[in-house]
């Protein structure tokens, strides 16, 4: 059996993408990180387990969104994004609408690819805005996340966005999710 130090050295030698993939797939690694590394997910992570998060994005951004998906999965949440979360034979429009309706949070991933894009992503955003409108004013549900420096669409400008491409981006996202959970539980 390998020592914790040997396992740690293997982990730090991985690229960010490989590390995220491994975290998403390996419960031992995930549990080791939760118990040995002080990172933003560990505090209050029990509240995050099973939280359903819908990821909306433009197809050209799939690689960046896959990293986000794997990070959320490693944190114990249940992210959903097409096509990975759609089962073979499912009607994809129905699967997407159902996933949005059942999600605890809706993260729209913004980039130069999404800002002026027509189609499915606009439909997803409209649905999320409708759901958000039925919540309390201080509830956090729809979280605009910029993957790169780009303008925020007019329909989302009333919401504070975060920059995932900055060093503090993932911490800000975790904070928003945790605050969203706290605010909803406060209202029960």
Model confidence pLDDT, tens digit, residues 22-62: 555 555 555 544 444 333 444 444 567 889 999 999 999 99
Tokens of 72: 């959320």
Position 92 scores a pLDDT of 87
pLDDT tens-place string over residues 92-134:
889 999 999 999 999 999 999 887 777 788 899 999 999 999 9
| Sign of the torsion formed by the C-alpha atoms of 3, 8, 13 and 18 | positive
CB 124 within 8 A of CB 56: yes
Using CA atoms, how far apart are residues 138 and 107, in angstroms rounded to an integer? 17
Q: What is the chain's percent helix, strand, coil content, to nearest 5?
A: 50, 10, 40
Report the percentage of the chain scoring pLDDT > 90: 53
In the sheet that 162-163 helps form, which strands lie side by side, from edge to edge? 78-80, 52-56, 105-110, 142-146, 162-163
pTM: 0.75
Residues 6+ apart with CB under 8 A from 187: 136, 139
Supply the mean pLDDT for the chain: 81
Structure tokens at 151: 């303008």
CATH 3.40.50.10140 assigned to domain 44-186? The reply is yes
Which of the 8 DSSP states describes residue 60?
G
Phi, then psi, of 88 in degrees rounded to 5: -55, 135
């Amino acid at each position: 059996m390998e020592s914790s130090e040997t396992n740690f050295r293997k982990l730090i030698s991985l690229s960010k993408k490989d590390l995220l993939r491994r975290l998403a797939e390996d419960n031992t690694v995930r549990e080791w990180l939760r118990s040995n590394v002080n990172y933003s997910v560990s505090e209050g992570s029990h509240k995050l387990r099973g939280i359903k998060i819908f990821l909306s994005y433009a197809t050209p951004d799939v690689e960046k969104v896959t990293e986000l998906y794997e990070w959320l999965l490693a944190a114990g949440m249940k992210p959903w994004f097409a096509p990975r979360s759609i089962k073979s034979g499912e009607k994809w429009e129905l699967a997407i609408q159902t996933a949005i309706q059942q999600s605890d949070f809706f993260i729209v991933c913004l980039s130069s690819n999404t800002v002026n894009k027509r189609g499915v992503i606009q439909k997803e955003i409209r649905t999320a805005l409708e759901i958000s409108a039925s919540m309390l004013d201080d509830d956090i549900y729809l979280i605009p996340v910029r993957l790169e420096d780009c303008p925020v669409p007019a329909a989302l400008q009333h919401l504070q966005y975060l920059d995932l491409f900055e060093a503090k981006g993932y911490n800000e996202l975790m904070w928003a999710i945790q605050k969203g959970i706290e605010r909803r539980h406060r209202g029960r």
